[in-house]
Amino acid sequence: MTAEFEKEWRVNVSSQMKGAGVYAFSLTPLPGRNGRMTCKGFQLYANGQHVCDAAEPADKDARTVTFQVPRALQGRVEVRFRVRCFDGWFECAGEMLMKKI
């Protein structure tokens, strides 16, 4: 049976943000747990305040996006995005990698 639902993911990237610049964020599904899912609407937040949107269109299913970060960010920094899962929550698991370009 397919369990379809949508959830907002919030990934803490505070330790990976090192000042202004372009950052690439990649979401890699875990092996054996990569059920059918779509990821859209990537945004960057610092201390709960919206900083910028990903360069890619918000309505595009994406596994890798880029952010143009305008300044050094202080406090808790999060990447937020919407995930729609078609095979149940436990089949939508992944790891993230963020690096400065």
Strands 92-100 and 21-34: antiparallel
Q: What is the pLDDT of residues 47-92, one digit of tens each?
A: 999 999 998 888 888 888 999 998 889 899 999 998 887 766 556 7
Q: Please give the residue that has the higher pLDDT: either 83 or 35.
A: 83
Provide the 3-class DSSP secondary structure of residue 14. helix
User: Which pLDDT score is estimated for 88?
Assistant: 60
- Return left, alpha or beta for 32; rule: phi > 0 is left, psi -120 to 50 is alpha, else beta: left
